[in-house]
Amino acid sequence: MRVEQTRTLKAKLFNPNARKEELLNRSFRAYQQALKDGVERGIETMTDANDLVVQYDLSGYMKNALKKHIPKVVKNGGKDVGEDNALKITNEGVNFDYQQDNHHKFYINLPSTWQRGGYWCPIEIIPNQESFYHKLLYKYINLGEVQVIRKDNEFYVHIVVKYEIEVRNPSECTTQVGLDVGDNTLVAGCSYDGVEPMRGEIWSGNECKRLRKEWHTVKKRLQSRGSEKILNDIGDNIWNRIDDIIHKTTREIVEYVKQFDEPVIVMEDLKYIREKMNYGKYMNARLHSWAFRKLQKQIEYKAVGEGIPVVYVNPKNTSKECHHCGQKGIRKGNLFRCTNDGCPIAEYHADLSASISIAKRGRESPLKKTEGDDLTSHGARLTVPQDSTSEVTHTDEEVSYAS
């Protein structure tokens, strides 16, 4: 079966000259003022947003993106408005070119109301994304929204592309690979082929746990002092390190899954888990800061990119029931004890046991998509993370720009 995949390419505009930099800055000033005015007026419809943005000196392609964006920001309580919002451009207003003999081979053309036909800028791309730019040039994949981001007097572009890939139907897979997302154990995985579990593996959560604890402590101390700038800088550093761990771990997990015969990944539907947390004020704050769904979505995104389907199951009692006989047992730390005297499983690693139970549920009763529910996190369906309309600074890629 074929499913749509969405991916965000990231690149840096290479040293725009003074004229191009001024054009970019003009667009940023007008865009941010229009966005700010739209939020202050509480505009919630595209019609009203259109009446506002036509008054600003912006390219029509920026206006079209902005009139969609303003109502979303207003409905979100204005949380996406900052000092340097991304400059959004609809896909019709952006073009690409390739010059094989030049040092910087790829170029992007950005629209401008002050320069007919826009202006071309060389871009420094992430090397492992080069194939996507070639596919864009030959129209093998579709271009979505483009964002220009200004940070520390430099400019970056985030380019959304959409394309279809072939993914195996979950019902045709022969091996269920259960993945249990945890706190002490970041992820525990084990496969099940209908006969017996095999080749379990564990990825430690100790470093992520330490970093989340550090963030909670630093946040409490600096907020009491009113040191927001220092807090933001430290927070960016901590969460970038957590993002790096998640990125590398999820890549390892998908490689682990690929070793099995026709695999399907099975995970728990955790969308209500935060509502059920009640472990005390300190633990609740730490666990609420953990990216449950981010971890799952990165696994899902990378897996679907490899043609591996993902399904979700009911999480009830997966860590309390014996994976062999189904009877409720006793969990103490990382150890699970089955209370059924007739069960051959006396003791087992608790998280591995849960991952086996999850894998079995994927074979027996994966969740079905409910009517009107378009959440990525729900149902036995094939989805990938959708590009966000907000200005997100943390990415799901390792980003290293050429110097």
Domain positions in the chain are 2-166, 170-364
Query: What is residue 325's predicted lDDT score, i.e. its pLDDT?
Result: 94
Q: What is the dihedral of CA 296, 301, 302, 305, to 10 degrees?
A: 150
Query: What is residue 219's predicted lDDT score, i.e. its pLDDT?
Result: 81
Helices (H), 120-204: 130-137
Which is higher by pLDDT, 380 or 228?
Answer: 228
**β 142-151/263-268 pair status:** unpaired
Confidence tier at 82 by pLDDT (50, 70, 90): low
Asked whether the beta carbons of 134 and 155 are under 8 A apart, the reply is no
Query: What is residue 342's predicted lDDT score, i.e. its pLDDT?
Result: 93
Which is higher by pLDDT, 115 or 280?
Answer: 115
What's the rounded Cα separation, in Å, for the pair 302 and 261? 18
Residue type at 184 in one-letter notation: N
What's the rounded Cα separation, in Å, for the pair 348 and 337? 7
What's the rounded Cα separation, in Å, for the pair 308 and 300? 9
293-307 pLDDT, tens digit per residue, is: 788 989 998 999 899
State pTM to two decimals: 0.70
As given in the structure block, the two tokens for residue 95 are 């073009």
The mean pLDDT value of the chain amounts to 84
Residue percentage of the chain with pLDDT more than 90? 59
Query: What is residue 390's predicted lDDT score, i.e. its pLDDT?
Result: 30
Query: What is residue 32's predicted lDDT score, i.e. its pLDDT?
Result: 93
Asked whether the beta carbons of 38 and 70 are under 8 A apart, the reply is yes
What's the rounded Cα separation, in Å, for the pair 185 and 352? 10
Query: What is residue 80's predicted lDDT score, i.e. its pLDDT?
Result: 63
Q: H/E/C letters for each residue in 205-225?
A: CHHHHHHHHHHHHHHHHHHHH
Helix (H, G, I), strand (E, B) or coil at 261: coil
CATH dotted code for 170-364? 3.30.420.140
Confidence tier at 61 by pLDDT (50, 70, 90): very high
23-57 pLDDT, tens digit per residue, is: 999 999 999 999 999 999 999 999 999 999 999 99
As given in the structure block, the two tokens for residue 128 are 């492992």
